[in-house]
Structure 1
C-alpha cells in the first residue's frame, strides 16, 4: 500500500500513479500546472479508482463539452473500481461523482465528512474550502482550515488556507500572521500572498500592499493562469483605489488579460478590473470587445452565479446580444432547476443583479437601482470574496450617483470612508455624493 504526499493511503503499488497523484494534488493546492499526468496514470492503471476520480475532476475543471466527456469516462472508471478502494478513497470518489452530477448538497456533505474523518487529506480540505467559498459560507471556510491545521503544522499550504479563511471572517491580524508564516515557510505560496493582500486592501494599507505583492511577484510566473492573473489583479486594485489609473490599465494589458482568455476565472479577473476602472470614469478604449468576444464563445455557460453576473455585464457592454440572450435564458432556467443549495441564489440574487448590470451597460441607471436594490442585501450568497464582491457594491453606488439619488447613497459612502480612512477612491465617490465634484 502506497501513500500520497500527505500520508494518505492509496490503493496502488505503481510509482507512476503515486507520482501523478502527488503532482495533481500539489498543482491544485499550490496553483501549479502539472495536472495532465493523472490521465496517463489512470489509463495505465484503470483499476485505481482514486486516480480515475482525480482524472474525472480534471475533466470537470476544463469547463468545456470535451472536458465533460473526459470527466464522464473517468467517472465511470472510478465508480467501477470503488469496491477495491479504501474508505477515504471511496468517500472522495463518491463526492466527485456528486460534483459531476451537479448534486451540490451531497458534495458539500461528503466534503465535510472527509474533513472530519480524514483531516490528513489536505486536497479534500482545499476542495471543500473552494466549494463552500462558491456559496458564500465564510464560517465553514474557516472551520475547514481550523479542522485540519493540527495535522499539517509543517505545511505552508495549510497556513495559507487558514489565512484566507480568517481574512474572510474579518480576523485580519490573525490572517496576516498566518499568511506571513506560510510565506516564510515556503516563499512560493501564492495563496498566502493573496490572503495578506486581502487584509491590506481591506485595511486601506495600499502602499504596504503594493510592496508586499511586488516583492513576491516573481513567484507567480510558473503558477496557473488564475493565480497569476488574480494576484496581479490584486496588485492593480491597490493602485486603482489610490486613483492611479494608468498602472492598472498597464497591468490589465500585460498581466491580467491574455494568459488564458478562454478560462472562466481569467475572464472574471479581466471583467472585474475593467469594470472598476470604468465605474471610476476611466476611458478603457476598445478593451471590452476582446473580453466580450471570448465570453460569448463560452460553450458551457451558467457555471456559477458569481461568474454569470460578470458575464452579463461584459456581454452587454460589448454588444453581444445573442450571447447575452443565451446567458439570460440559462440563468432563468437555473432559477428554477438549479440544485436546492444554489437555486435561490440564482433566482433572487444573480438574476436581478445581472438585469441591473445590463441596465448599467445601457445607461439606464434608475432601472439598475431598481434591480440592484433587490439583490444587494444578499450578494454574499453568490460566493466570491469580499474584495471581489465589492465590484457589485461599486456598481450599486455608482448607479445611485448616476441616478442622482444622493440622499440614499451618501450614508453608504460615509460608512466606507469611516471604515477605511484615507482611500482616495472612496473619498472621491463621497465628494460626488456631496455635490463637490
Structure 2
C-alpha cells in the first residue's frame, strides 16, 4: 500500500498516483488556483482511489454554495463504492456529515482522525476550516497545539501547520505566539497565503497599520498563482488604509485587488462567499465614513438576489443583506428573510439554530436600519450580540456587525447599548476604540456626554 507525503497509509494503485495526490494536497494547503487541475490529474492516474473522490466532495463543500452540495454527495457516493482503509472511511464519514448539515459531527470525526493520525494534514486542515466558520476558535487552537509535537520541520506540510497555528492563536488572543508562527511559515515559504493572512490579522488587532501595509505589499510579488485568498489579503491591506483615512487607496484596492471583476480568479467564482463578504463589508465601512462608493453595490445586490434561499454560509447572509438594503431592494430583502426562516424551520443540523439566533437578527437589523428604525434594529439585534461568533468569521470580519449595532444604538440615543458594545470590543482588541476609525466618533461622543 502507498503512503502520502506525511507517512499515512493510503489506497493508491501506484506511487505515481500517490505523488500526484500529494501535489494536489500541497496546492490545497497553499491556496493555489490550479489545485482543481492537480486533482483532475490524480484522478486520471488512479480513478479508483477513494481519497481523490473524497477531495472532490470536499472542494464542492468548501465553496459554501447550496448548488454544489449535490455534486459533493455524488462524489461521496462514488467514493463509498471504492473501499479504502479505516482512516479513509473516517474521512468519508466526516464529509458525509458535512454534506448533510452536521458540521459539529464532521468536526468531531476530524478530531478523532487527528487524534489517531496526527500527521493527517487533510483532516487537520478541514477541521481548521470548519471550526473557523462555525465560530469555534478554541477547537481550532486545541487541534493545532495537539498535533504540533508530532510534526517536524522536514515533514511536507509543516509550514501550513505553522500557518494554522498562527491564525488559531491570533483568534484566541495569543498574539505573540501567532506572529512568531506566521513569520516562521513565511520564512519557509513567502508564498504561503494563509501565513501571510494570519500575520496581517495580528498587525490589525494591534493597530500596526504601517507595518501591515508594508507586510502585504512586500509579500504580494509571491502571490501569483494563488486563489481567492489573495483577494482577502488585499482586503486586509484596504483595512489598514481605511484606518488611516486613505479612502482613495481603499477604492483602488477594491477595484484592482479584492473585487476586480475582470480578474480571471473572480470570473471563475464571481459569487464566492469570501469575496462577496470582503466587498460588502468594505463598502459598508466606507459609507459609514461618508465615502461615495458609486455603483459598486449593484453587482453585489444582483448576486445577493440570485442567492436568496441559499443559507449554507450563515456569515455571508448579513453581507448579502447589506447589498440589498444599500440598493433599496427591500422586497428582495423581505424574501431573503423569509427564506432564512423557512430554512431554519425545515432543516436539521447546526445551521438552523445559527440562522435563528444570529443570522436572522443581524439581517433584520440591517433592514430596520435601512428603513430608519434604529431603535427597533437594536432591540432585534441585542439578544444576538453574544451569539454572533457562531456565524463564523474572524474578529476583523465580525467587526462590521458590531459597528452596525453601535451605529443603530447611537442613532437611537440608546447610550447604554452603545457603551456595552464599546466595552465588548475593548475587551477583545488591544487597540482602544479611540484609535479605531469605526469606533472613534462614538467613543468620543460618549466620553463627552459622560
Per the normalisation by structure 1, the TM-score is 0.92
In structure 2, C-alpha distance between the alignment counterparts of 1:222 and 1:27, rounded to whole Å: 10
Pick closer, same or farther for the CA change 1:196–1:62 going to 2, 3 Å.
Answer: closer
Per-residue deviation at 1:356?
A: 0.3
Equivalent residue number for residue 256 of structure 2:
254
Q: Paired residue for 1:174, among 162, 172, 177?
A: 177
Equivalent residue number for residue 430 of structure 1:
443
In structure 1, C-alpha distance between the alignment counterparts of 2:316 and 2:122, rounded to whole Å: 24
Equivalent residue number for residue 315 of structure 2:
306
Equivalent residue number for residue 75 of structure 1:
76
Structure 1 stretch displaced more, 336-345 or 24-33: 336-345
Runs of 5+ consecutive residues of structure 1 not aligned to the other structure: none
Runs of 5+ consecutive residues of structure 2 not aligned to the other structure: none
CA contact (8 A) 1:229 1:256 kept: yes
C-alpha distance after superposition, 1:55-100 (max 9, x if no partner)? 2222333555763443233211111112xx1121111122112222
Structure 1 stretch displaced more, 401-410 or 159-168: 401-410
Equivalent residue number for residue 120 of structure 1:
119
Pick closer, same or farther for the CA change 1:299–1:337 going to 2, 3 Å.
Answer: closer
CA contact (8 A) 1:336 1:347 kept: no
In structure 2, C-alpha distance between the alignment counterparts of 1:43 and 1:66, rounded to whole Å: 25
Pick closer, same or farther for the CA change 1:262–1:74 going to 2, 3 Å.
Answer: same
Q: Paired residue for 1:278, among 280, 287, 312?
A: 287
Spell out the pairing of 1:151-190 with structure 2 (5 A cutoff).
151-154=150-153, 155-190=158-193
Equivalent residue number for residue 295 of structure 1:
304
In structure 2, C-alpha distance between the alignment counterparts of 1:414 and 1:28, rounded to whole Å: 39
Structure 1 stretch displaced more, 398-407 or 169-178: 398-407
Per-residue deviation at 1:412?
A: 4.0
In structure 2, C-alpha distance between the alignment counterparts of 1:370 and 1:58, rounded to whole Å: 39
SS in 1 for 2:315: helix
Q: Paired residue for 1:241, among 237, 240, 243?
A: 243
Equivalent residue number for residue 53 of structure 1:
54
C-alpha distance after superposition, 1:176-199 (max 9, x if no partner)? 111111111211111111111111
In structure 1, C-alpha distance between the alignment counterparts of 2:41 and 2:385, rounded to whole Å: 46
In structure 2, C-alpha distance between the alignment counterparts of 1:340 and 1:54, rounded to whole Å: 22
CA contact (8 A) 1:315 1:321 kept: yes
Q: Between Structure 1 and Structure 2, how many residues are aligned?
A: 433
Per-residue deviation at 1:17?
A: 3.0
Spell out the pairing of 1:386-425 with structure 2 (5 A cutoff).
386-410=395-419, 412-413=421-422, 419-421=430-432, 423=435, 425=437
In structure 1, C-alpha distance between the alignment counterparts of 2:447 and 2:414, rounded to whole Å: 11
In structure 1, C-alpha distance between the alignment counterparts of 2:90 and 2:422, rounded to whole Å: 48
What's the Cα RMSD here? 2.4
CA contact (8 A) 1:313 1:361 kept: no
In structure 2, C-alpha distance between the alignment counterparts of 1:321 and 1:15, rounded to whole Å: 57
In structure 1, C-alpha distance between the alignment counterparts of 2:169 and 2:121, rounded to whole Å: 17
In structure 1, C-alpha distance between the alignment counterparts of 2:58 and 2:19, rounded to whole Å: 17
Per-residue deviation at 1:210?
A: 1.4
Spell out the pairing of 1:75-94 with structure 2 (5 A cutoff).
75-82=76-83, 85-94=84-93
In structure 2, C-alpha distance between the alignment counterparts of 1:433 and 1:81, rounded to whole Å: 64
